[in-house]
Chains A and B, each alone.
Chain A
Amino acid sequence: MVTVRLFAAARAAAGHDRVDATAGTLAEVLAELIERYPGLGPVLPRCSYLLDEMAVHGDHREITLDDGSALDILPPFAGG
């Protein structure tokens, strides 16, 4: 399992601030989340991600989340 932390609009859409998901590629993890929490559908395409506190770049199908990984889902920032 991987631990997923959701912030701001993503948390509001899912109704949870922390959920577990099955390990796999980032694309698979996100697809599982949208299936479980359909409200995330319109939000996730606008989000960025931290995998074990590092910014994610590149193709989501080629990024692997191992058991015990931590994924943060970050909607577009709006500070200031």
Chain B
Amino acid sequence: MDVREGRLDPEILRSVVADASAGATALFTGDVRDNDHGRPVVSLSYEAHPSAKDVLSEVAQEIAERFDVIAVAVAHRHGPIPVGEAALVAAVSARHREEAFAACIALVDLTKERIPIWKHQVFADGTDEWVNCA
């Protein structure tokens, strides 16, 4: 579990959950896009509360307990993030694909719900907003 500035490497999370007993690995990357609500976005940055990493650990623990999985890993980036790079990476390994997919979806949903992180975006027309607070 990690919350940090600097690029996230999905391959590192994939290798963290790798296990000889796993027949399936679900890997998700949530990437910065160049538009929101149909408006062009020119820059985006995330701000993290100091507790974000602890919250992420609790989320991963909860998912590991709720699903029949082998390993779970999730990381969130903060600070400015260029378009096309990952803000969130989640990886889950399981014996079979059904559990891997289901747990990965739940991991991403629960992370988005609970992680104390905020997104600020600037649009091409010069206006800006704090997402979910506009």
Contact = CB atoms under 8 A, between A and B. Distances in A.
Contacts of B132: 75-78
Contacts, number: 61
Contacts of A76: 132-133
B111 to A, nearest CB: 6
B30 A80 contact: yes
B20 interface: no
Interface in A40-54: 43, 46, 50, 53
Interface of A: 7-9, 12, 43, 46, 50, 53, 72, 74-80
19 contacts: A7-B116, A7-B118, A8-B130, A8-B133, A12-B130, A43-B133, A75-B132, A75-B133, A76-B133, A77-B114, A77-B117, A78-B117, A78-B118, A78-B130, A78-B131, A79-B115, A79-B118, A80-B30, A80-B88
Given A78-B117, A79-B119, A80-B111, 20 more contacts: A7-B49, A8-B47, A8-B118, A9-B118, A46-B133, A50-B51, A53-B51, A74-B49, A75-B130, A78-B130, A79-B46, A79-B52, A79-B88, A79-B112, A79-B116, A80-B30, A80-B76, A80-B88, A80-B108, A80-B115
